[in-house]
Amino acid sequence: MNTQEQARFNMVEQQIRPWQVLDKAVLNVLSQMPRELFVPPAYQALTYTDTDIPLGHGQSMVPPRVDARLMHDLHLTGNEKVLEIGTGSGYLTALLASRAQRVLSLEVNPELAATARGNLQRAGITNVDVRVADGSAGAAGDAPFDAIALGGSVSEVPQALLQQLKVGGHLIAIVGQDPVMVATLYTRTSDAAWSSKALWDTSAPRLQGFTEPSRFHF
């Protein structure tokens, strides 16, 4: 086992399993996915640590356990069409792609999108389409989706995204204001109804392009 493989093994055992990620297929993906391919050169030493990693452009990678749990809690089976909002480095994209049929990932920043494409290519991930777009509107032309994952936090999930789920489909997002945000799973239960379930507390950088609630109340 080389140093990176050992670090990846330790990450899975010490950070990810304790966070209730116990699905064997998911742990398998995490054990094999070379996260170092998605981390900027200046931060390689932090690849498998439980910390945020700056990506520039005001964005950062969340700790591995957060991406692992987001992917895990969507319960993908390998047949899904998935929409990801906020490609970032492409690491969560790669995890989703390993458990889905196809992933469409929207990234508002062209430089991040280009870097993520290169990262995914180096990792041998071919079932992903990274598109430069404002993710808050989703991709209505490609809807409906079996699953939607938001790679950062929002104050609330826009109705436009919930509308792009298939009936029975799930959307996972980190919702709220610092310091308390909650990973929340939304399920489309019928044409006109959705349910939501709070899963776990965390915090994550904001996705760009989503509206913030006004802080002023008159």
Angle between helices 91-98 and 64-73 (to 10 degrees): 30
Q: What is the CATH number of the domain that holds 88?
A: 3.40.50.150
On whether residue 213 sits in a domain, the answer given is no
pLDDT at residue 71 in the model? 96
Amino acid symbol at 171: L
pLDDT at residue 211 in the model? 84
pLDDT at residue 212 in the model? 82
* pTM of this prediction exceeds 0.85: yes
pLDDT at residue 215 in the model? 60
CB atoms within 10 A of CB 116: 24
On whether residue 110 sits in a domain, the answer given is yes
Amino acid symbol at 119: N
On whether residue 210 sits in a domain, the answer given is no
**pLDDT of the chain along its 218 residues, tens only?**
789 899 999 999 999 999 999 999 999 999 999 999 999 999 999 999 999 999 998 899 999 999 999 999 999 999 999 999 999 999 999 999 999 999 999 999 999 999 999 999 999 999 999 999 999 999 999 999 999 999 999 999 999 999 999 999 999 999 999 888 999 999 999 999 999 999 999 999 999 889 887 665 54
Domain range holding 138? Answer: 3-202
pLDDT at residue 178 in the model? 86
pLDDT at residue 216 in the model? 53
pLDDT at residue 218 in the model? 46
pLDDT at residue 58 in the model? 85
Domain count, the chain: 1
**Longest CA pairwise span in the chain (Å):** 61
Instruction: Decide: residue 105, CB within 10 A, 0-12 exposed, 13-18 middle, 19+ buried.
Output: buried
On whether residue 218 sits in a domain, the answer given is no
On whether residue 211 sits in a domain, the answer given is no
pLDDT at residue 214 in the model? 63
User: What is the rounded CA–CA span in Å between residue 110 and residue 108?
Assistant: 6
On whether residue 165 sits in a domain, the answer given is yes
Judging by DSSP bridges, how do beta strands 128-132 and 102-107 pair with one another? Answer: parallel
CB atoms within 10 A of CB 178: 9
On whether residue 28 sits in a domain, the answer given is yes
pLDDT at residue 180 in the model? 86
User: What is the rounded CA–CA span in Å between residue 74 and residue 62?
Assistant: 18
On whether residue 214 sits in a domain, the answer given is no
